[in-house]
Amino acid sequence: MPRRLFVHNVQITESAQGRMHGYRIYQWLLKSAALADIQEIVCEAFIDSSVIPLYERLGFTRGSALKQLRRILHFVRCGQKLKASLNP
């Protein structure tokens, strides 16, 4: 079973958005996960969230909306680049 890190929530105040803070947080997270031998990072976002392009730039890919909460997308990044899929 791969070592997994689940990011429940990262919030950047609206006035600070667009200033690379979220990008820097996730860059640090990816580097730290690689050092800790984490093989999978999982996070979720509302289907209309402005964070989705950031996840995609960082190598996460968009899955389908979760069955129970059709407005939530599940993202995963695995392996050497630390891929995204739907949480069943």
User: What are 47-70's pLDDT values in tens digits?
Assistant: 788 888 888 888 887 665 554 445
Where is pLDDT greater, at 49 or 13?
A: 13
Q: Is the pTM of this model over 0.85?
A: no
CB atoms within 10 A of CB 17: 13
Largest Cα–Cα distance of the chain, in whole Å? 40
User: What are 28-45's pLDDT values in tens digits?
Assistant: 988 888 888 888 888 888
Alpha helical stretches, state H, the chain: 21-35, 52-57
Where is pLDDT greater, at 9 or 62?
A: 9
DSSP state of 1: -
Strand, coil or helix: 78: strand
Q: Residue 66: what pLDDT?
A: 53
Q: Would you identify the CATH topology of the domain 4-78? A: Aminopeptidase (3.40.630)
Domain regions of the chain by residue span: 4-78
